[in-house]
Structure 1
Amino acid sequence: MSEQIDQQRKAELLSKTVEHIDITSFDARPIIDQMANMSFTSRDLARATGIYNQMLADRDCTIFLVIAGSTSAGGCMDLYAELIRSNMVDAVVATGASIVDMDFFEGLGHKHYQALEIPNDNTLRSLYIDRIYDTYIDEEQLQDCDHTIGEIANSLEPKAYSSRAFIREMGKYLAEHGKKDNSLVKLAYEHDVPTFCPAFVDSSAGFGLVKHQVDRMKAGAPYMVLDAIADFRELTDIKIKAGPTGLLMIGGGVPKNFIQDTVVCAEILGHHDVEMHKYAVQITVADTRDGACSSSTLQEAASWGKVQTVHEQMVFAEAGSVMPLLASDAWHRGHWKDRPKRGWAKLFG
């Protein structure tokens, strides 16, 4: 179908790349300090930033970065990478889209593009351009991502893997063949930061992995599989051994519920001394009108024994507009500089 695409029109629409924000290039501390004396979302953000700084200053605290939504495609990709590079988070729980379609995709050398105009979406389809709100992805490049995931699967021993184990192989691939230093997947591999995607196949990985299985089945050969139970078990293992923990959550949904559930799972396994998550920040535009908040509110989670309500803060804002301020403030305050490096990935060999 590619020969039918109007390449000139496609090039016009994919002419301006999304530039990812660099939290080290500006100091947000004066802004956050003044926001603390304001009201509404500004004060909420200042308090959330203070809680994140408390996590970083607490030398016993393991910090989980929890990502849902499209902020990576929208310009926060290097921000998340910097949190790993600077030892500001110790493990990641995310959607497959954040890890594969966005971060791994750019790690292969591809780009996201600003939509300077939004024509009819059927026109975009005819040009093989996928749209995320006001951001574009070249579908042909995304298929390269699918293909690469399939190649990685084909190279592995045909057995069961947790998403963490497979994403580690993705990071190893980028370390050897990648074209971008600021990749969360690559840096997580290099810094032993385990990364979990509890709904991993709900992404470009799904297409590559399905093709891997179908091709192997046709050949009568064994194939690799993803073990979602191992995901939960491994993440719970970290929670059991970590002691005090903090959650920095962007969005909600499956990643948010998954990390909160580790406390309950640990208790089911007989570890009644495992603490609730001590610190929790959630940045979201969801609310409680649907009976939740893209998974339970932090206060509601306390009733399940998942999150303490002493150091928790909801921030109702589009994360791309406030995460740069929170992360820049925390980076410049520098509590990360003498944090112990945990390397939780080493727990799994």
Structure 2
Amino acid sequence: MNAPVQSNQKAQLLQNTVEHVDITSFDARPIIDSMRKMSFSSRDTARAADIFNMALEDKDCSPWLILAGSTSAGGCMHVYRDMVKFGMVDAVVATGASIVDMDFFEALGFKHYQAAGEVDDNVLRDNYIDRIYDTYIDEEELQACDHTILEIANRLEPRGYSSREFIWEMGKWLS
């Protein structure tokens, strides 16, 4: 593998960080309510909000948050954090990509970046930049994240670990 190219081009491609939305900073109910009068996904979004509210009100219901790998990188990380913090979900089920390559990655101080339009994959590869849909991630930082995971694994007693146990160890390492 060739050494990464440090260039102004890489800096330009990674200049706009993804900002995570803070759902506690505004009241989204009026816009969700207006979506009921729209169509396609807008109406579906309003219906989903209604269903989620019914689940929150039903004491016999146990809402779970199921995450796809790339949604954290898209700016939803604080939404998920706050859903747990405020008791809106009882369990989180996430892919390894969401836990390691998104959440842990950012906990290490690294960022995800907004893609800058159409860029040839060869240009991205030459600059050690990975694409996640319309989001970029610095491959060198991703490798540093992977090396940190290796460091955590190497500190553990050799045996089988559940994903819950290993995630616990990742959290201990961060603290």
Q: TM-score, normalised by structure 1?
A: 0.47
Q: Aligned residue for 2:173?
A: 173
| Cα RMSD (Å) | 1.6
What's the secondary structure of 1:92's corresponding residue? Answer: strand
What's the secondary structure of 1:18's corresponding residue? Answer: coil
What's the secondary structure of 1:89's corresponding residue? Answer: coil
Deviations 1:52-81 (A, max 9, x none): 112111223322110114121111111111
What's the secondary structure of 1:160's corresponding residue? Answer: coil
Deviations 1:119-165 (A, max 9, x none): 21111111111011221100000001101111111111211111111
Alpha carbons of structure 1 residues 10 and 25: separation in structure 2 relative to 1, 3 Å: same
CA displacement at 1:113 relative to structure 2: 0.7
Q: Percent identity?
A: 67
User: Structure 1 CA distance, aligned partners of 2:7 and 2:40?
Assistant: 47
CA displacement at 1:110 relative to structure 2: 0.1
Q: Aligned residue for 2:111?
A: 111
CA displacement at 1:86 relative to structure 2: 1.4
1:5 and 2:5 aligned: yes
User: Structure 2 CA distance, aligned partners of 1:125 and 1:40?
Assistant: 37
- Supply the AA of the counterpart residue of 2:135: T
Q: Aligned residue for 2:43?
A: 43
Q: Is the 8 A contact 1:65 1:93 kept in 2?
A: yes
Q: Aligned residue for 1:93?
A: 93
Deviations 1:83-133 (A, max 9, x none): 112121121111111111111100110000111243211111111110112
Q: Aligned residue for 2:164?
A: 164
Runs of at least 5 residues in structure 1 that lack an aligned partner in the other structure: 177-349
Q: How does 1:297-336 map to 2 (within 5 A)?
A: none
Q: Is the 8 A contact 1:73 1:112 kept in 2?
A: yes
CA displacement at 1:44 relative to structure 2: 2.4
Q: How many residues align?
A: 174
Q: Aligned residue for 2:130?
A: 130
- State which structure, 1 or 2, has the greater radius of gyration over its C-alpha atoms: 1
- Supply the AA of the counterpart residue of 1:99: I
What's the secondary structure of 1:161's corresponding residue? Answer: coil
What's the secondary structure of 2:130's corresponding residue? Answer: strand
Alpha carbons of structure 1 residues 115 and 41: separation in structure 2 relative to 1, 3 Å: closer
Deviations 1:291-347 (A, max 9, x none): xxxxxxxxxxxxxxxxxxxxxxxxxxxxxxxxxxxxxxxxxxxxxxxxxxxxxxxxx
Q: Aligned residue for 1:64?
A: 64
Q: TM-score, normalised by structure 2?
A: 0.91
Q: How does 1:115-264 map to 2 (within 5 A)?
A: 115-174=115-174, 176=175
User: Structure 1 CA distance, aligned partners of 2:38 and 2:172?
Assistant: 45
Runs of at least 5 residues in structure 2 that lack an aligned partner in the other structure: none
State which drifts further: 38-47 or 74-83: 38-47
